[in-house]
Amino acid sequence: MGEDRARVRRGIVMTLLGGTLWGINGTVAKYLMSTYAIDPLWFACMRELLGCWFFLVPAWLGSREVLVDAVSRPKNLLWIYGVGLSAILFSQISYLQAIFWTNSATATIIQSLGMLLVMGYVCIVGRRIPRKREVLGIACALVGTYLVATGGKPGQLALPAAGAIWGILLAVSSACLSIVPKRAMERWNNLVVNGLAFLLSGATLAIFVRPWENMPALDAAGIALFAFCIVFGTFGAYGLFTQGVKDAGSMRAALLGTSEPITATIATTLWLHTEFSIAELAGFALVLAMVFLTAGNDEG
């Protein structure tokens, strides 16, 4: 029991740190895409192809047998490839596209709606119906999303249509990231699964994006910020969050992941000077309330 509690506490800390790094990374990514005209798909592809080595090198040095086991059988690689496409690549593309069309604060708030899908998954696995507080959470989510999307003005869409679509896809990908990698992490480990998933999905995306043909013109500041996105926003955030999912569980990870939109809102306001209406801020608060209402002790 003591070991289990220590593992959960470790998972809580890792998830909070991962969400915080994601929140800062979203603001940095928005700045890079706006200032240096970086295409979101190019950004996602290079993050994966460069970020994978921060996982694979430590995996080779510290858990070589586990890495060899993962790559020695086609069935294992296919499993990890599925994780890479359904969780890593999906979340990378939808995350950057949603930020590109809106801003990091709005995108990460909409991403929190993925908690509803995690709750649905837990209810199905646990063979139960939603509790009263979970139903209240769903109501908060619907009203909050309406306020964020319309700015509180009926019949007016405050978000670009593309931003709303990518935001919904981001919510779905967020749920996938909280659920899909868990079994693979238990079979191998964080470094092996993330490293191979990033490499395989990044290589797949490179076939279509061909990033070497469209290199952005980055100055020293741009290179430094892009390096931050690779080291801290990719390796740090994904590594910490997915380890937190493994140690603390999907529901707790989804709850603690609210550190991301909070950090993103603060960073976007202070750095990019983005202004939000009272209705939008109220919508943010309601979506965060949904996360706390729907997060329980059940684990999927």
Domains of the chain: which residue ranges?
A: 2-294
Residue 219 three-state SS: coil
CA 227 to centroid of chain Cα atoms:
18
pLDDT along the chain (300 residues), means of 10: 72 80 84 90 91 92 91 92 89 87 78 78 82 78 72 66 87 84 86 92 93 90 93 82 73 63 70 75 78 56
The pTM assigned to this predicted structure is 0.74
- Residue whose entry in the numeric block shows the structure tokens 């080779």: 60
Give phi and psi for 175, each to the nearest 5: -65, -40
Name the nearest CA neighbour of 46 among 238, 272, 210, 244.
210
Distances 222 to 113, 144, 219, 225, 228 between C-alpha atoms, Å? 32, 35, 5, 5, 10
